[in-house]
Chains A and B, each alone.
Chain A
Amino acid sequence: MSFDPESVRADFPALSQLINGVPLVYFDNASTAQKPRCVIAATVAAYEGNCANIHRGVHTLSARATETFEAVRDKVLAFVNARAHSEIVFTKGTTEAINLVAQSFGRLVVGAGDEVLVSELEHHSNLVPWQLLCAEKGAVLKRVPMTPSAEIDADAFEAMLSPRVKVVALTHVSNAFGTVSPIAEMVAKAHRFGAAVLVDGAQAVCHGPVDVQAIGCDFYCFSAHKLFGPTGVGVLFGKASRLASMPPWQGGGDMITSVRFEQSEFAEPPHRFEAGTPNIAGVMGMGAAIDYVSAIGWGPFAAWERRLLVYATEELKRVDGVHIFGDTKEKAPILSFSVDGIHPHDVGTVLDSEGVAVRTGLHCAEPAMRSLGLRGTVRASLAFYNTEREVDVFVRALRSAIKMFR
């Protein structure tokens, strides 16, 4: 085995703490991932040594801050294989990136009677912005169904495409189940009908390489905090031609080239979409997070996650009364399951008392849960720093919960 999780655990201060008197087993990585020291140090450095506003001053400190900040744009560009600097917009997260596209691009291209396709599997943040847009425009929001195995129904999707469809919004990896969408194929199909495609990559960027050119999408969104980076910062990738056509979303400093009292000229992308002082320290921390995962390399990283997922799935299946949803061949290390006769909340509380942090409930994906007839699940979401020993602790705690409630 070329990758040993023990070799990286020391990088994450939060992992070594006791919870309720026992070592923390952090299996809630899909909610937010823990942060390595280098990320924490980068955000601290942004306040300690490099604290100045960006794109504004002629003084040395401001120039240094601006340079470090813009260098992160280059890192992100390489990280998702974008073509140009102008395609990388910093946002406060996935949610803001999606709202930006819905409010700027959506308002531009979606009219009364047009259609927006959204899958049933989406996180609420890739559904509600489209509901708002369609309500405003008198457009039709259409549900792309999911299969019983918690994947987007690709055949149904294809059948729904038509020239009326202006925007398609799909998740790359499901946060509720970990299932992976055949995203490049779906993008190609949508493009045949002239629809633009936004891909929600919040759960994808932390498990493997993302290549926006290979995917071919018009927009790709993610949050730094699920990628071992800080909260409050994220990325919108937009194809240069799309971003260039889009009006500003928010107005303010940094997004203009000249301002007269009556009207202003707007900056070119990406700055057109970055009004106001951004989360400078957050962007610096995101840069450090990208450096961190790049240094490990996706090969060893993904191989370990794969092994961990297979092990956890096998162990979980041996527990009586457990049903795993979205147990597909290719998936992210997310295990979403129910336990016969025990409510997810009660499972979660007992696991927590054994130091095991999982998420329980609807996972901000209520339509997906309903589609499978579920009122919620227990979700264990793993990261590369998790170990097989932790899986054992988790399964043992689960068995003790079951014993108590039976």
Chain B
Amino acid sequence: MTPEVAKLYQALILEESAHPQNRGPLAAATHNASKHNALCGDQVTLHLVLEGDRINQATFEGDGCAMLLASASLLTEAVRGVPSADATALVDIIRRLVQPEGASEAERARLGKLTALEGVRNVPARRRCVTLPWETLDAALLEHG
């Protein structure tokens, strides 16, 4: 196996995808969005509870590859208790993180565990699997709850 693929599937990703967090419906959700990857048919739905401007809770539904599940699982943890403007900023950082040039050191410092997603930097065919939940977050936040 190439080092790129070993890095893609690092332990944290395998663990998150095998036991995703915050997976399931969310009855109290104020904001919801779904997105689908036409290439593979994978789909993710995001549910958020916003209180004022703050995301109090987030869950996801959907099935997909390990990268998508890990990304969605980490997302739901990362945005809990976060102002929506900060969550939107996070989406932008993730978009840069998965590009070949990657995110800046300062940005990476804000990401914590989420840096595990940067393995797709060198596996372009799988970039969308990681960004799909974040695109969905963007769409959910744009929705006027």
Q: Which residues of A contact B (CB under 8 A)?
A: 20-21, 342-346, 349-350, 352-354, 360-362, 366, 369, 375-376, 400, 404-405
A residues less than 8 Å from B143 (CB atoms) = none
Partner of A404, one of B14, B39, B67: B14
Q: How far is the CA of A342 from the CA of B63 in the complex (A)?
A: 11
Contact check, B125 vs A349: say whether CB atoms are below 8 A apart.
yes
**A376→B5 CA distance, assembly (Å):** 21
Q: Please tell me if the beta carbons of B39 and A405 are within 8 angstroms of each other in the complex.
A: no
Q: Which residues of the other chain, A, contact B8 by a CB distance below 8 angstroms? A: 349
Do most interface residues of chain A lie in helix, strand or loop, or is the interface mixed? helix
Shortest beta-carbon distance from A362 to chain B in Å: 5
Task: Give the CA-CA distance A375 to B65 in the complex, in Å.
Answer: 11
Q: CB within 8 A of B1: which of A343, A344, A350?
A: A350
**17 sampled A-B residue pairs with Cβ under 8 A:** A21-B2, A343-B66, A344-B40, A345-B40, A345-B64, A346-B65, A349-B123, A349-B125, A353-B4, A360-B40, A361-B39, A361-B41, A362-B41, A366-B41, A375-B63, A400-B1, A404-B9
Report B91-121 residues with CB < 8 Å from chain A CB. none
Contact residue among B1, B64, B66, B123 (Cβ-Cβ distance under 8 Å from A405): B66
- A399 to nearest B CB, angstroms? 12
B61 CB, min distance to chain A CBs, angstroms: 14
Flag if B129 contacts A345 (CB, 8 Å). yes
Chain B residue at minimum C-beta to C-beta distance from A366: B41
With most chain B CB atoms within 10 A of its CB, the pick from A344, A346, A376 is: A346
Determine the chain A residues whose CB is within 8 A of the CB of B67 once the complex forms.
345-346
- Bound complex: CA A361 to CA B65 (Å): 11
| A373–chain B nearest beta-carbon distance, Å | 13
Residues of B within 8 A of A362 (CB): 40-41
| Assembled-state Cα–Cα distance A103/B47 (Å) | 44
Complex-state Cα separation, A323 to B4, whole angstroms: 28
What CA separation (Å) do A352 and B14 show in the bound complex? 18
Residue of A nearest to B38 (CB): A362
Within 8 A of A (CB), among B1-16: 1-2, 4-5, 8-9, 14
Contact B129 A353 (CB under 8 A): no
One of A344, A350, A361 near B5 (C-beta < 8 A): A350
- Please tell me if B126 contacts chain A, counting CB pairs below 8 Å: yes
Residues of A within 8 A of B41 (CB): 361-362, 366, 369, 375-376
Query: Which residues of B sit under 8 angstroms from A354, Cβ to Cβ?
Result: 1
Query: With the chains together, A105 CA to B63 CA distance in Å?
Result: 42
Which residues from B are CB-within-8-Å of A345?
40, 42, 64-65, 67, 126, 129
**Inter-chain contact B66/A346, CB cutoff 8 Å:** yes
Min CB distance B14 to A, Å, is: 7
Contact present for B2 and A353 (CB under 8 Å): yes
A353 touches B65 (CB 8 A): no
Chain B proximity of A282: nearest CB distance (Å):
27
Contacts of B65 in A (CB 8 A): 343-346
B92 to chain A minimum Cβ distance, whole angstroms, is: 25
Distance between Cα atoms of A404 and B9 in the complex (Å):
9
